[in-house]
Structure 1
Amino acid sequence: MTDVLDPALLAEAVAVAAAGALPAVTPLTPGPAQPGSPHVTAAFAGGAIAELDGGVPGAVVVLVGTELVEALASSPMGALDVAAAVQPALDAAARQLGAHARGARTLDLDAEGYDVTTELGGPFSTVPLIGAGIAAAVLVPEATLAGAREPISEDSEPAASVLADAVADSAPEPFVPAFGAAVAPPRGLELLQGVDMEVTVELGRTRMTVRDLLALTPGAVLELDRAAGSPADLLVNGRLVARGEVVVVDEDFGLRVTEILDANAAV
């Protein structure tokens, strides 16, 4: 990466980018970068790692606290994966490093003998993300910081400005409580408001033999298990939550919701 002022500043800029995409009730403020320790995972309940593409070596890890992990586990849509919830933050961190993040993988922090240093391939920097206490942390290998490239922009917003803001900010560093310090009581579903969910509209289903599937040709018609005019199903992460009418909006299909299903019916 050109014009890198300092690895610690770059690590903090990466954390700024990740913080903006991480589910949180209150804004997360990065603390100062510090040398990584394998014991840092003891202060967190979950995390995810994403390998980097685009010529930048290594990977990035985002660790999250009990609040988010418990909120994901008790979601009305069923248990949600930590890696899926953290993926946008890993994507943002990777762009700040001039790379692209591969699909995230959830870390098993409770595994016997687990060492995040092994996951990251060597020494790393840790940047805590502070909300009500330390809510999360971003871990970046030293080799990754050394091999970073020009930040990649998203939506025409110069990603380099994140680094510039981190360098230009002359305000005093925020108070950083010790890892493992007490945090505010859990806030449940509020934490999930920024989590991306896969929403699918299903017109109907059918069952076919492999022979019939292989015999499909352009123009073939499949009969579904639903009569014409019946409502379509709205599924969130595979879970039925509503039904509605298929409509056309500016030449695109849409769904006009006509019925919201309660938790017992949405199965």
Structure 2
Amino acid sequence: MNHPPVSSPVLHSTALYTAAAQALAAMLPTEAPVTATLCSGPRPVMSSAGHGAGASFVGELSADVLVQVNAGLLGGTPGDTSALVSGADVLRPALEASTGVLGTGVLSAGPAIQDDALLGDGETVCFDLASAGELIGFFALRIRENAAPEAARATSDAERADVGARLGRINSVEMALTVEIGRTRMSVRDVLNLETGAVVELDRSAGAPADVLLNGRLIAHGEVVVMDQDYGIRITKILDVAEGLG
């Protein structure tokens, strides 16, 4: 059953939503070009016959995004978890392209939204995705307003003390600290052709500092060291919030 049309006004100009939808459509790995058209009828729903991916974006503008494309166009079958590259992996670059038009920010590494809640929200804008004259899926985008800078600076000393007290309660909570020496982008074909002994070139030169990430967020740079027979990381620079988001 489709969601009923929602007539609530969107938060930004239609041009911004359209630009995001077009950027996503251009990155979808289909044989024929994909067009994105603003939905004029009932809202779409998730289908068992499609590959879907959703994520949240936090930055200058924050947003929730969701895309679904007929599984046959991306290879594989719906719900297949045995494949080396999942449907969500294939759709990830398209989501990154769509949120790239919103400015600087970070796209969540995994699903962070409720599909039904997003599609049923009056602030969500939906687009039909079509290729070779046939409807192949949809794209949904909900932009969230960030707090005004003036409001953010108005936090009182008492509120800051309260935040510190609340943070003190989670001092013993463990978080994942990850060291990343570099990244690269590869086509699905190249990934599937990897063999034992293959060398993958990263986007970082030898001797460059490694990134230190806390729960996936960049917090510092450092150099890799060897301690006894184990690897370690010597912190060379702690990043502030703005640098970590860049």
Normalised to the residue count of structure 1, the TM-score between the two structures is 0.45
Where relative contact order (Cα < 8 A, 6+ residues apart) is larger, the structure is 1
TM-score, normalisation: structure 2: 0.48
